[in-house]
A and B are shown apart, each in its own frame.
Chain A
């Protein structure tokens, strides 16, 4: 599903910073891949390149058989909207929109049928057990609930790949566990490929394989048992 070849990202400055020094790996369709490593290892940089939020210095990324780095800006935007889902580290909901509106904004932007987009958003919110909080504004929701809205938003266009950048970083352990459990359940149910940065060693139990990064390179890989 995802093929990464010799991916490099150098941030230009007086002393150029090599955040990714040539990474190569593949992710199978439907797989849950964890990315671990110390702070500054290049985890977020890698996810940003995969999620088409940044442009790598060199290398190749194939997602769903598309050489995504060859896409134009608008092509990348459309690719993100249609085939990728992104769950951010912090709560990133639009404060003026209700939970439902935050989710259906994306299905609306991607929909061809005007009536379907709300239905899809409600289904996603019900799937993350927020059917009873559809019309609440973000500030009326707990941190865990907000992150679940973020997951629903990432899922609403039925993406092929879901990227999650430390989705539980700002949550208490109970909420964090619930979110990770939810992600694995959704993966099983919907068959989406998930690439997730995780920090906590105990999170290993929610992923199938882990790539350990160190100084912008893959240090090692590890298979886990889900």
Chain B
């Protein structure tokens, strides 16, 4: 058994090292291309999903959202709760927000003509704690982020401002710039003027339709104190939200509604699901094409060697030796293709797309190549090569000896 395997290995080795180089090169190139294609399409689609998820976590909801309990307007004693939350090991920080609907009005020429009005919500933040929880401060495209002491300042998302390359200008204020003044009429009837301190854009419309003022300013508008419409909680390990929600319940958040960020995906979940299905379909097609291409090339190669196979059989070599030698060759080409494909992905594609990310409506998308994806693709290609090497060699090895030798 071991001897037969050694003979198969010997035949495979000699065929690879002394056989036709054009077939070897073609097989390796095809394996590389298939491996890259398998990984590339998946990683782009994973990148899109990942970009959406990151936008949700980094710029909208953090990992966990705490909302007031049933029939409550606000979470009470928010600062006290936040101190408890921040003391939980693994919590990076928490941020309390008031969320209030308001009518935004912009009179560009201050003449009462061509006044732009839109209804959005405005959130309050404590800038210093907010930067531990969300990344809005990193996405300022004009002006500056809020400071704790700001009262009459507001920062707007690009889609509200309508300028700076906004993609939904119809619903916007039509081109508000940093330094302009806008008027907010809150749902409690309070009306105040704010100077636009900064414009932010995370290149994701759902993020860019937000507007922020400071918490101190919002509390003066609402006439409340130490409360919150929501508290966002950022944790170290995304994916562990369930564990932290249990912890939050344990420290006394019993009445409050607590949601992981995934509960807010909403319509995006169908996009993510569809992308997952597309990814699987493309991967499936790639594999079928890969299997057929490898099969055809090995089949052509084996067809040229039919006579040799017949002679080996005529001389008394077993079918197993012959089949195994071709399987070993196919696996060698697969391993080489996988290795070179991995090198191309790591040293060419990932660095390239890291410095030249693709621009999607949901932000910049780079390749997301997970270890599991690479291992899965490698195993799949390995198995495909195994099958594509086995079938033609088995077909030829079981052929009648004389038919194989004389082709009749």
Contact status A78-B401, CB under 8 Å: no
Bound CA–CA A97/B12 (angstroms): 11
In the assembled complex, which residues on chain A have CB atoms less than 8 Å from the CB atom of B312? 94, 105
- The reply on B19 being an interface residue by CB < 8 A is yes
In the assembled complex, which residues on chain B have CB atoms less than 8 Å from the CB atom of A77? 313, 316-318
- The reply on A42 being an interface residue by CB < 8 A is no
Contact status A88-B311, CB under 8 Å: yes
Contact status B401-A105, CB under 8 Å: no
Contact status A81-B308, CB under 8 Å: no
Bound CA–CA A110/B317 (angstroms): 9
Contact status B316-A82, CB under 8 Å: yes
Contact status B7-A108, CB under 8 Å: yes
- The reply on B314 being an interface residue by CB < 8 A is yes
Contact bitstring B11-23, A, C-beta under 8 A = 1, else 0: 1001101110000
- The reply on A3 being an interface residue by CB < 8 A is no
In the assembled complex, which residues on chain A have CB atoms less than 8 Å from the CB atom of B401? 53-54
Shortest CB–CB separation between residue A11 and chain B, in angstroms? 10
Contact status B314-A109, CB under 8 Å: no
Interface secondary structure of B, over-half rule: helix
Partner of A92 from the list B10, B15, B19, B307 (CB cut-off 8 Å) is: B307
Contact status B402-A48, CB under 8 Å: yes
Q: A109-B321, A137-B18 are in contact. Are A94 and B308 (CB under 8 A)?
A: yes
- The reply on B80 being an interface residue by CB < 8 A is no
Contact status A101-B14, CB under 8 Å: yes
Q: How many residues of A contact B (CB 8 A)?
A: 28
- The reply on A206 being an interface residue by CB < 8 A is no
Contact status A96-B15, CB under 8 Å: yes
- The reply on A160 being an interface residue by CB < 8 A is no
Contact status A80-B18, CB under 8 Å: no
Number of A-B contacts (CB under 8 A): 69
Q: A48-B402, A96-B15 are in contact. Are A110 and B316 (CB under 8 A)?
A: yes
Contact status B318-A74, CB under 8 Å: yes
In the assembled complex, which residues on chain A have CB atoms less than 8 Å from the CB atom of B308? 92, 94-95
Partner of A81 from the list B15, B317, B405 (CB cut-off 8 Å) is: B317
Contact status A81-B316, CB under 8 Å: yes
Near B by CB (< 8 A), chain A positions 78-126 give 78-82, 84, 86, 88, 92, 94-97, 101, 105-106, 108-110
Partner of B7 from the list A95, A105, A157 (CB cut-off 8 Å) is: A105
Closest to A97 in B: B14
- The reply on A56 being an interface residue by CB < 8 A is no
Contact status B15-A106, CB under 8 Å: no
Partner of B316 from the list A48, A95, A101, A106 (CB cut-off 8 Å) is: A106
Closest to A80 in B: B316
Contact status B7-A96, CB under 8 Å: no
- The reply on B375 being an interface residue by CB < 8 A is no
Q: A94-B308, A108-B7, A109-B7 are in contact. Are A51 and B314 (CB under 8 A)?
A: yes
Near A by CB (< 8 A), chain B positions 373-400 give 400
Shortest CB–CB separation between residue B401 and chain A, in angstroms? 5
Near B by CB (< 8 A), chain A positions 201-221 give none
Near B by CB (< 8 A), chain A positions 136-167 give 137, 153, 157
Near A by CB (< 8 A), chain B positions 308-328 give 308, 311-318, 321
Shortest CB–CB separation between residue A89 and chain B, in angstroms? 10
Contact bitstring B114-158, A, C-beta under 8 A = 1, else 0: 000000000000000000000000000000000000000000000
In the assembled complex, which residues on chain B have CB atoms less than 8 Å from the CB atom of A137? 18
Q: Which of A78, A86, A109 has the most CB of B within 10 A?
A: A109
Bound CA–CA A81/B321 (angstroms): 14
In the assembled complex, which residues on chain A have CB atoms less than 8 Å from the CB atom of B318? 74, 77, 109
Other A-B pairs beyond A53-B402, A81-B317, 6, CB < 8 Å: A80-B314, A80-B316, A86-B314, A88-B314, A92-B311, A109-B321
Which A residues lie at the B interface, using CB under 8 A? 48, 51, 53-54, 74, 77-82, 84, 86, 88, 92, 94-97, 101, 105-106, 108-110, 137, 153, 157
- Contacts A/B (CB < 8 Å), 19 sampled: A54-B401, A54-B402, A74-B318, A77-B313, A80-B315, A80-B316, A86-B315, A88-B311, A88-B314, A94-B308, A96-B17, A96-B19, A105-B10, A105-B312, A106-B317, A108-B3, A108-B7, A109-B321, A153-B315
Which B residues lie at the A interface, using CB under 8 A? 3-4, 7, 10-11, 14-15, 17-19, 307-308, 311-318, 321, 400-402, 405
